[in-house]
């Protein structure tokens, strides 16, 4: 009897927990779902019945047609892709190299450099925007994707160096010492032994680096607002500002910005969450 | 009286049964050791007694009342964990008094209890330290102290020595033994180390694959193992096993022919067996001697000699390629590659049938039993 | 022979460590040139003034004097700072407790589907703040009426208002939108910290007789305190650096009547100018410097008080 009572209490508690979690999950998803389903509806249906799924009568992709007609989403998209991929590549490469140098070799100024880089984790690069714009103007890089790539490399490096250092420190000394006994050069040790070993950490760093770059509005707005160099975030922001009354177009542009990220997220969520929960960021 | 009774206790996770009906009767004040290889279910059983795991079916009684559904704190038990599980943010005093505080005991009462327990364990000078400022041995004492202040009927120990280094392990083992004498409480102690089991336990429960293989005093397990598993588990080095057949059955002994051709007697009750049955002969390394001085002789080639000083372990291969270990005297001059004869007294042989159950030994116990146990403990203290 | 060769080796000067330069050089160069130097340059620029012809002259602390005490500049500055502080407080009081609560639920043993919940609740965090800003702007728009309809369906239609448009509620609404988006971060970090607590520790407290609530309060919470401290400082830095949400939803003027103006939008307007206001590089640099000092102060407080104290709790 007691047993059954306890069991009941137990399931009741579990049900409560599920109820709370499902409620919160709905709160988290509802706004996004509403935007996406309405982007596939006619203007009338959007206003008459915003919460229902598109039906054959209400289905319409006029919004998407408008977006593609009036703005160059393909250009925005490829700009974002180029900037993100290039910046990511260099953050990972330079970050791993710097992390290796700082953890492996003893030299004068080592600690100072490490602290300087660590400060970058907490101090946002945005605060130097005034001078960054001056610098880019001097270098003739305003309204180029290069300026964005450079800024994002500088932005991503501190966290990358920090996380990768933690991992490089865990590589057994014996591995490196064995290689040195075989007269393998320092460059080869890094590229053939260390880099492959920190690959799992690279995945974590990649996710943490990629998201802020892809989503950033500040630097595209300030360094590269030209039509040819707009990233997707800036492009959507400008588009929505311009066609604010065209609900079909606005909803479609938001959907176009949301869906690719969501697909990528669902594919890589396991990796991302593992990175977040592995205590890589302490 | 804090007897602990387990009556057909079973445990399943989803549909897999991991404990298949455990019966145990533990008397007040006994020191009972649950021992077995990892994964045999001994820790699960201990956690069920503690109340940390649900009991799927069966009855658990502590001090005469059924406690299946009582929360741990109401069972009159205290537990010492493998990792000590000290609260890292509380000092020793707070760690030891946490349970009493939860129970709503008064400040003075708690203070007195903790100080007393700390004195018994010689940690009274450490009360304001944090766990991370303590050595492994000190943490261990605090964990035991936390158990003592609760005044439990039953102490549960989950492999408490496995995180200590070898020297400290022996020392702490001795202290736990003394503590048992001092407190007089019932102790249930889980370990995978047969030496700990032999030296500490009044009774030993050998577990294997979710079943109790044998339950008895250390000497009983050593002299009368009821299964081949227990015979192999208790004793170091392990008992030697040689295959053979029964060639003749007499009222007080059987005659066996081993697969290497040797014939021998064994003093066991084979009334339920017949001539021609396959058996396994078991003989402990310490019951084998060099030479031909005893009833049964074997010969083979020496493959390795380990010299320990007071004894030498001779590893040899018999003609049929079976391997055996001999515990010879420390003065033995045998070297690798030599062919030697060894012999044993047939009274010290064990016989197991094809289901690995032991045939009851008829005249056992007359073989230097006290000396054997002393040897066993000596081996243990070296480990 | 042996002695000879060792002394020769000792005499050879160590070769220049080119490999260190190779490994450290590229990253350090980019970082110093694009992050460290501009920041220092910005701090330096804050001491200058520019006249109409664009000529710069050293002005000492004049910019800061204006920003802090001259009503033309100081009213917007103190307004933005105060708003930003409110923005941060709402995050601390709403986002982090909800994150903690969800993390505790998710970490309960043998909870089915916990991975799915985790993944879905974290989803909005992935999206751009700008997109999220627009999404909520549409949802809360009285024109579309989704929120109104929703409140009507649960009988709370009286509560509906143009929250984003009102001076009294716009900032709170924006802060709550931001909370909605980023609650996944504290949830995930605290969840990880909870999983890192050894199970035997929880068992020990159960044996000691503590209830689920007592175990949480006495054992788990102290042990995840370092993580909560970290989440707080991350929230602080992110909030005092925020810009996009306000800019996307309310524009650079942070309306209505600057009621949603925070340091990020103030910095943008000061630097670039907007409508009637003329942009000033040096004044922008001064605002950035003050933001830097605020963030530095927060980080320093965290390092000296919070982190030093919570280190005691580590195993």
For A29-54, what is each residue's pLDDT tens digit? 988 998 898 888 888 888 877 777 88
Residues 6+ apart with CB under 8 A from C135: A31, A32, A35, A254
Q: Which of B73, B103, B132 sits opposite C315 (nearest CB)?
A: B132
Nearest chain B residue to C202 by CA: give it.
Answer: B85
Triad B305, B307, B311: Cα angle to 5°: 110
Residue C303, chain A, CB below 8 Å: the answer is no
> What pLDDT band is residue C168 in, cutting at 50, 70 and 90?
confident
> What pLDDT band is residue A282 in, cutting at 50, 70 and 90?
very low
Quick check: A109 pLDDT over 90? no
The whole-number average pLDDT for the span A162-188 is: 87
Report d(CA C104, CA C108) in Å as an integer.
7
Taking only the tens place, the pLDDT of each residue in B205-214 is: 999 988 999 9
Question: Choosing among B87, B96, B105, which should be mutated to test the C contact, i.e. which has the most C CBs within 10 A?
Answer: B87
Do the Cβ atoms of B204 and B35 come closer than 8 Å? yes
Residue C166: its pLDDT value, please? 86
Residue B376: its pLDDT value, please? 55
User: Is C314's CB within 8 Å of B132's CB?
Assistant: yes
Nearest to A17 by CA among B40, B135, C111: C111
Taking only the tens place, the pLDDT of each residue in A220-271 is: 998 988 888 899 889 888 888 888 778 888 888 889 888 888 888 888 887 7
User: Is C127's CB within 8 Å of A29's CB?
Assistant: no
Which one has a higher pLDDT value, A205 or A153? A153
Nearest chain B residue to C206 by CA: give it.
Answer: B72
Chain A residues in contact with chain B using a Cβ-Cβ cutoff of 8 Å: 2-3, 6
Residue A151, chain C, CB below 8 Å: the answer is yes
Per the prediction, chain A carries an average pLDDT of: 85
Report d(CA B210, CA C18) in Å as an integer.
63
Residues 6+ apart with CB under 8 A from B77: B49, B50, B51, B62, B152, B153, B154, B155, B156, C207
Nearest chain C residue to B90 by CA: give it.
Answer: C313
> What pLDDT band is residue B381 in, cutting at 50, 70 and 90?
very low
Taking only the tens place, the pLDDT of each residue in B91-139 is: 999 999 999 999 888 899 999 989 988 988 888 899 999 998 898 889 9
Which backbone phi and psi does B103 adopt, to 5 degrees? -75, -5
User: Is C288's CB within 8 Å of A282's CB?
Assistant: no
User: Is C315's CB within 8 Å of B130's CB?
Assistant: no
Count other Cβ atoms within 10 Å, centred on residue A185: 12
Quick check: A17 pLDDT over 80? yes
Show residues of chain B in contact with C312, CB under 8 Å. 89, 130
Between β-strands B288-290 and B339-344, what pairing exists: parallel, antiparallel or unpaired? antiparallel
Instruction: Give the pair of three-digit tokens for residue B78.
Output: 């205290």
* Residue that is written with structure tokens 């865990």 in the block: A170
Quick check: B181 pLDDT over 90? no
User: Is C208's CB within 8 Å of B99's CB?
Assistant: yes
Show residues of chain C in contact with B72, CB under 8 Å. 206-207, 209
User: Is B52's CB within 8 Å of C207's CB?
Assistant: yes
Do the Cβ atoms of C236 and C298 come closer than 8 Å? yes
Quick check: A112 pLDDT over 60? yes
Residue A279: its pLDDT value, please? 53
* Residue that is written with structure tokens 């260099």 in the block: A90
Residue C306: its pLDDT value, please? 74
Do the Cβ atoms of A22 and C121 come closer than 8 Å? no
> What pLDDT band is residue B382 in, cutting at 50, 70 and 90?
very low
Residue C70: its pLDDT value, please? 85
Taking only the tens place, the pLDDT of each residue in C81-121 is: 999 999 999 999 999 999 999 999 998 877 888 888 988 99
Per the prediction, chain B carries an average pLDDT of: 87
User: Is B68's CB within 8 Å of A6's CB?
Assistant: no
Do the Cβ atoms of B161 and B132 come closer than 8 Å? no
Residue B79: its pLDDT value, please? 92
The percentage of chain C sitting over the pLDDT mark of 90, rounded to a whole number, equals: 34
Nearest chain A residue to B57 by CA: give it.
Answer: A3
User: Is B82's CB within 8 Å of C206's CB?
Assistant: no
Count other Cβ atoms within 10 Å, centred on residue A141: 18
Helical pair B136-148 and B107-120, crossing angle rounded to 10 deg: 130
Quick check: B270 pLDDT over 50? yes
Count other Cβ atoms within 10 Å, centred on residue C274: 16
User: Is C315's CB within 8 Å of B77's CB?
Assistant: no
Do the Cβ atoms of C87 and C240 come closer than 8 Å? no
* Chain A residues 58-87 with CB within 8 Å of chain C: none
Chain C residues in contact with chain B using a Cβ-Cβ cutoff of 8 Å: 198, 200-201, 203-210, 214, 218-219, 222-223, 312-315
Report d(CA C148, CA C142) in Å as an integer.
7
Question: Choosing among C209, C214, C223, which should be mutated to test the B contact, i.e. which has the most B CBs within 10 A?
Answer: C209
Report d(CA A176, CA C261) in Å as an integer.
54
Per the prediction, chain C carries an average pLDDT of: 85
Q: Which of C23, C108, C118 sits opposite A101 (nearest CB)?
A: C23
**Strand, coil or helix: what is A21?**
helix
What's the farthest any 2 CA atoms get from each other in chain A? 82
Do the Cβ atoms of B352 and B283 come closer than 8 Å? no
First-residue to last-residue Cα distance in chain A: 48
Between β-strands B311-318 and B296-307, what pairing exists: parallel, antiparallel or unpaired? antiparallel
Do the Cβ atoms of B59 and B68 come closer than 8 Å? yes
User: Is B73's CB within 8 Å of C208's CB?
Assistant: yes
C-alpha R_g of chain C: 26
Residues 6+ apart with CB under 8 A from C289: A127, C42, C43, C46, C64
Quick check: A198 pLDDT over 80? yes
Show residues of chain B in contact with A6, CB under 8 Å. 69
Chains with ≥3 Cβ pairs under 8 A against B? A, C
């Amino acid at each position: 009897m007691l047993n059954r009572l306890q069991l009941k209490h137990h399931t009741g508690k579990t049900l409560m927990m599920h109820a709370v979690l499902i409620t919160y999950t709905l709160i988290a998803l509802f706004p996004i779902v509403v935007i996406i389903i309405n982007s596939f509806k006619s203007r009338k249906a959007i206003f008459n019945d915003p919460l229902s799924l598109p039906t054959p009568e209400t289905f319409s992709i006029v919004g998407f047609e408008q977006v593609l007609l009036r703005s160059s989403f393909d250009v925005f998209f490829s700009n974002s892709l180029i900037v993100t991929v290039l910046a990511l590549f260099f953050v990972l490469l330079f970050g791993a190299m710097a992390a290796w140098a700082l953890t492996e070799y003893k030299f004068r100024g080592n600690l100072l450099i490490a602290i300087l880089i660590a400060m970058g984790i907490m101090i946002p690069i945005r605060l130097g925007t005034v001078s960054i714009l001056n610098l880019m103007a001097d270098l003739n890089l305003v309204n180029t994707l290069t300026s964005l790539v450079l800024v994002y490399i500088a932005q991503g490096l501190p966290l990358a160096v920090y996380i990768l250092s933690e991992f490089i420190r865990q590589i057994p000394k014996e591995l490196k010492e064995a290689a040195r006994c075989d007269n393998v050069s320092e460059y080869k040790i890094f590229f053939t032994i260390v880099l492959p070993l920190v690959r799992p950490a690279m995945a974590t760093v990649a996710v943490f680096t990629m998201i802020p770059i892809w989503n950033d509005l500040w630097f595209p707005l300030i360094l590269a607002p030209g039509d040819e160099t707009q990233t997707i975030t800036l492009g959507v922001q400008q588009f929505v500002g311009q066609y604010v009354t065209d609900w079909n177009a606005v909803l479609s542009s938001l959907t176009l910005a949301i869906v690719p990220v969501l697909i990528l997220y669902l594919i890589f969520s396991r990796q991302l969450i593992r990175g977040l929960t592995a205590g890589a960021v302490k | 009286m804090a007897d602990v009774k387990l009556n057909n206790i079973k445990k399943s996770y989803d549909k897999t049964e991991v404990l298949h009906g455990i019966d145990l009767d533990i008397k007040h004040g006994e020191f009972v050791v649950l021992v077995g290889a990892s994964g045999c279910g001994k820790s699960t059983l201990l956690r069920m007694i503690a109340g940390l795991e649900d009991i799927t079916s069966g009855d658990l009684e502590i001090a005469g009342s059924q406690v299946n559904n009582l929360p741990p704190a109401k069972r009159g038990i205290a537990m010492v964990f493998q990792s000590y599980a000290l609260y890292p943010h509380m000092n020793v005093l707070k760690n030891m008094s946490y349970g009493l505080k939860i129970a709503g005991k008064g400040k003075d009462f708690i203070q007195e209890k903790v100080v007393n327990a700390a004195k018994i364990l010689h940690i009274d000078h450490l009360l304001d330290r944090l766990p991370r400022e303590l050595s492994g041995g000190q943490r261990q004492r605090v964990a035991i102290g936390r158990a003592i202040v609760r005044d439990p009927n039953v102490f549960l120990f989950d492999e408490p020595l496995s995180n200590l280094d070898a020297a400290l392990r022996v020392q702490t083992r001795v202290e736990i033994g003394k503590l048992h004498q001092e407190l007089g409480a019932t102790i249930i102690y889980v370990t995978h180390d047969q030496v700990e089991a032999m030296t500490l336990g009044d009774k030993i429960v050998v577990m294997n694959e979710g079943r109790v293989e044998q339950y008895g005093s250390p000497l009983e397990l050593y002299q009368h193992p009821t299964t081949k598993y227990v015979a192999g588990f208790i004793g170091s080095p392990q008992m030697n096993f040689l295959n053979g057949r029964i060639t003749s059955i007499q009222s007080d002994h059987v005659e066996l022919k081993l697969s290497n051709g040797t014939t021998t007697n064994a003093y066991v009750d084979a009334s339920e067996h017949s001539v021609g049955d396959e058996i396994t002969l078991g003989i402990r390394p310490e019951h084998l001697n060099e030479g031909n001085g005893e009833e049964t002789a074997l010969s083979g080639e020496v493959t390795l000699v380990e010299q320990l000083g007071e004894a030498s372990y001779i590893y040899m291969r018999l003609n049929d390629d079976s391997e055996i270990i001999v515990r010879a005297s420390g003065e033995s001059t045998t070297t690798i590659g030599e062919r030697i004869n060894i012999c044993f007294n047939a009274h010290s042989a064990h016989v197991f049938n094809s289901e690995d159950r032991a045939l009851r030994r008829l005249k056992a116990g007359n073989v230097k039993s006290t000396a054997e146990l002393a040897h066993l403990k000596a081996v243990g203290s070296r480990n | 022979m042996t002695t000879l060769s060792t002394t020769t080796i000792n005499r050879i000067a160590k070769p220049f460590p080119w490999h260190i330069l190779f490994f450290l050089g590229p990253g350090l160069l980019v970082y110093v040139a694009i992050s460290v130097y501009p920041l220092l340059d910005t701090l330096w620029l804050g001491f200058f003034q520019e006249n109409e012809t664009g000529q710069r002259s050293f002005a000492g602390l004049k910019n800061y004097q204006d920003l802090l005490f001259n009503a033309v500049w100081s009213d917007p500055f103190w307004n933005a700072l105060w708003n930003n502080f409110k923005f941060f407080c709402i995050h601390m009081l709403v986002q982090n407790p909800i994150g903690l609560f969800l993390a505790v639920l998710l970490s309960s043993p043998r909870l089915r589907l916990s991975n799915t919940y985790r993944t879905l609740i974290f989803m909005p965090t992935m999206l751009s703040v700008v997109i999220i800003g627009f999404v909520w702007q549409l949802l809360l728009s009285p024109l579309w009426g989704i929120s109104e309809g929703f409140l009507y369906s649960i009988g709370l239609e009286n509560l509906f208002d143009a929250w984003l448009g009102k001076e009294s509620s716009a900032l709170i609404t924006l802060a709550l939108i931001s909370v909605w988006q980023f609650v996944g971060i504290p949830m995930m970090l605290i969840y990880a910290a909870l999983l890192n607590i050894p199970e035997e520790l929880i068992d020990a407290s159960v044996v000691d007789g503590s209830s689920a609530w007592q175990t949480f309060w006495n054992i788990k919470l102290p042990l995840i305190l370092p993580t909560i401290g970290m989440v707080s400082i991350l929230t602080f830095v992110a909030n005092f650096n925020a810009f996009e949400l306000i800019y996307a939803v309310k524009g650079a003027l942070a309306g209505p009547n600057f009621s949603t103006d925070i340091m990020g939008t103030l910095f943008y307007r000061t630097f670039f100018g907007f409508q009637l206001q003329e942009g000033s590089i040096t004044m922008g640099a001064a605002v950035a410097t003050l933001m830097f000092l605020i963030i530095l102060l927060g980080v320093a407080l965290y390092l000296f008080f919070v982190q030093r104290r919570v280190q005691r709790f580590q195993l």
